[in-house]
Amino acid sequence: MIEVKNLHFTYSTGIEALNGINLTIDDGEFLAVMGQNGAGKTTLVKHFNGLLKPTTGEVLVDGISTRELSVAKLARNVGFVFQNPDHQLFSETVEDEIAFALKNFGFEENVIKKQVDWALNLLDIVQYRKTSPFMLSGGERKRVALASILAWDPKVVILDEPTIGQDHQQKEKLQQFILQLNAQKKTVVVVTHDVEFVAECNPRVLVMNEGKILSEGLAEKILTNKELIEQASIVPPQITQIFLELIDLGLPTDVIDVHEATKILLDRLRKNS
């Protein structure tokens, strides 16, 4: 469980990035953090594994203040997948890349081997085991980065902009994968601008604006609240936009799921015919 208590954070440049955040993330929860650029999303999640320490206030991970633990200690439970895989890949082979963190955490040799195999299979990159990560495509590099985090099986997984720069098919796979992680009782925190992605996953949504929490709740409540999301520079999902336009037909305005939308429209057409 991650508890954030009246968190304020000011960068050394004097920029006040977080301004009194209160938040609790339960074990096994799926949370999407949204908001415009500079709203403080990444700054907030960087507190969860101790990369940033609160200026004032407190962040507790499983009851222990992040101030008291090193990033390396916290990272054992809280995995953080950075936005750009090029910021972390450095090894000669994909295999070594994935083993890097496991070695840092002091796992036994045979456990490392087992976990690397497991992660390679999980992300479907077994065939690249001996390839240099620099030779892979963008999507594949992203998967290697993801594998290198999941390999140590952290309880909490934070993903910063996971869908950026991915083609539709990759995105679909990634989405299935993230939902699967959550289904396995992992806490998943996603920082994203991608409304369609959030709409399809339907997690709990946290909307941030200028270092504060603007609102939070289920995706279908938040993403259909036009005033609220406009304030945070978010455009509603396309299906919601259509339904909002068709308000004259008496269609519901809180639809974010395409399948649900189809069902409503079909029911309506059948009734009319």
**Chain contacts with other proteins (rule: CB under 8 A):** 46, 49, 51, 70-72, 75-76, 79-80, 82, 84, 86-90, 100-101, 104-105, 134, 148-149, 152
- Shortest Å distance, C-beta 126 to other proteins: 21
State the Cα–Cα distance between residues 115 and 111, nearest whole angstrom: 6
For the bound state, the minimum distance from the C-beta of residue 47 to other proteins, rounded and expressed in Å, comes to 12
Report the residue number, 75 or 201, with the smaller CB distance to other proteins.
Answer: 75
Nearer to other proteins, 151 or 213 (CB): 151
Instruction: Tell me whether residue 85 or residue 211 sits nearer to other proteins (CB atom).
Output: 85
The Cα 158–Cα 187 span in angstroms is 8
CA separation for the pair 112, 135 (Å, rounded): 24
User: 71 or 251: whose CB is closer to other proteins?
Assistant: 71
The two tokens of residue 16 are 């006040």
In the complex, minimum distance from the CB of residue 62 to other proteins, in angstroms, rounded to a whole number:
17
CB of 80 to other proteins, least distance (A): 4
CB of 46 to other proteins, least distance (A): 7
DSSP secondary structure string, the chain? -EEEEEEEEE-TTS-EEEEEEEEEE-TT-EEEEE-STTSSHHHHHTTTTTSS--SEEEEEETTEEGGGS-HHHHHTTEEEE-S-GGGT---SSHHHHHHHHHHHTT--HHHHHHHHHHHHHHTT-GGGTTS-GGGS-HHHHHHHHHHHHHTT--SEEEEESTTTT--HHHHHHHHHHHHHHHHTT-EEEEE---HHHHHHH--EEEEEETTEEEEEEEHHHHTT-HHHHHHTT-PPPHHHHHHHHTGGGT--S----HHHHHHHHHHHHHHH-
The Cβ of residue 176 has, within 10 Å, a number of other Cβ atoms equal to 11
Shortest Å, Cβ 241 to other proteins: 35
**4 versus 89: smaller Cβ distance to other proteins:** 89
Nearer to other proteins, 103 or 268 (CB): 103
Nearer to other proteins, 7 or 78 (CB): 78
Nearest approach in angstroms of CB 132 to other proteins is 11
